[in-house]
Amino acid sequence: MTGAIPPCQVAVVLASPADPVASAQLLATARRLATVAGTGVFALVTGGEGAPHPDATGADAIVRFATACDVTDPESLLHAAHEVVLRARPRVLLFAHDAAGREVAPRLAARLGAPVITDCVDAHIDAAGTLTAIRPCFSAKALSDWSVPAPHLAIVTLRRDASPGEAASAASPPPDGGLVLPSAPAPRLRVIERHAPPPGELQLEAAEIVVAAGRGVGSRQDFQTAIANGLAKDLGAAFGGSRGAVDLGIVPQELQIGLTGRVVSPRVYIAVGLSGAPQHMAGCSGARTIIAVNTDPRAPIFGYAHLGVVGDYRAVLPSLASELRRLAPAR
């Protein structure tokens, strides 16, 4: 089953099936770019014929990678994306800015000698066909615009936004199997073990609500009681902490949010006992609403927060949680 992909399109490499929102956001951006450019959108999925894949509604066609390769394996994803570019010559190739996209986009750019713009928060195409993508830089203290003129291919990764913004226009899912690509070469890295987080522990990047602890939380025990098993559990939120909290052993290192840790863009970010160092704020600048709870009214966090409570979180969080339970008992 092979066919040709119409030329001059916007191609989307769908994200992991574990994160359907990321794929939906990619497809919505792709549709917007394609409408301006007067072309169509196709979605690249992996996993072999008949394998489940993220919802590709919003695309005009699905291009399927023949072998049962894993979308989370960067090497096979690179091979698939390379084949697609060579065959279909898309104008724009979009990836999610996740672990796979971060690796594959610059590698593909090097392989093709093509321009790449990563970790973008927005992208558009003007009447002359120039693609411009916008990305934060300098620890989120600046925004930069990067342009690629037509007809050059532009490889772009988009930062995930946990806030539901653009949604793909309601349409029926596209036909599957327009083109099946050949198998990838044997992977050069052999995965021996896979470790997923404990079930129930939300992925930070995908969470709509994040509760973050700073040094002020005091101890790992308090973090567990008041946040991990307290407010975050009640809100169905993910949790993490600042570099300072990690250094003091309050928060596990893999949950560090900030310049040298994870970057989150939730709808609501609740900063508890957190001073608000610029390095930390670089990791949560995409949050729609920041709520700060801190005993020190002069803490820099209140300069970034939209809502603030001055007070000891040990008193604030329990009453916050119980009142939220009373107001929305269905939770």
Q: How far is the CB of 327 from another protein (least distance, A)?
A: 4
**C-alpha 40: how far from its chain's center?**
24
Q: How far is the CB of 180 from another protein (least distance, A)?
A: 25
CA distance 223 to 246: 11
**Who's near 82: CB < 8 A, 6+ residues apart?**
108, 111, 112
CA distance 256 to 282: 12
Q: How far is the CB of 324 from another protein (least distance, A)?
A: 5
Paired tokens of 97: 């800015």
**Who's near 89: CB < 8 A, 6+ residues apart?**
7, 8, 153
Kind and range of the H or E run holding 210: strand 209-213
Based on CB atoms, which residue is closest to another protein, 36 or 134? Answer: 134
Q: How far is the CB of 89 from another protein (least distance, A)?
A: 15
| 3-state helix/strand/coil string of 261-298 | CECCCCCEEEEECCCCCHHHHCCCCCCCEEEEEECCCC
Based on CB atoms, which residue is closest to another protein, 1 or 18? Answer: 18
Based on CB atoms, which residue is closest to another protein, 31 or 243? Answer: 243
Based on CB atoms, which residue is closest to another protein, 49 or 323? Answer: 323
CA distance 263 to 140: 10
Q: How far is the CB of 56 from another protein (least distance, A)?
A: 19
Based on CB atoms, which residue is closest to another protein, 48 or 311? Answer: 311
Contact 292, 320 (CB under 8 A): no
CA distance 264 to 211: 11
Q: How far is the CB of 115 from another protein (least distance, A)?
A: 4
Based on CB atoms, which residue is closest to another protein, 170 or 191? Answer: 191
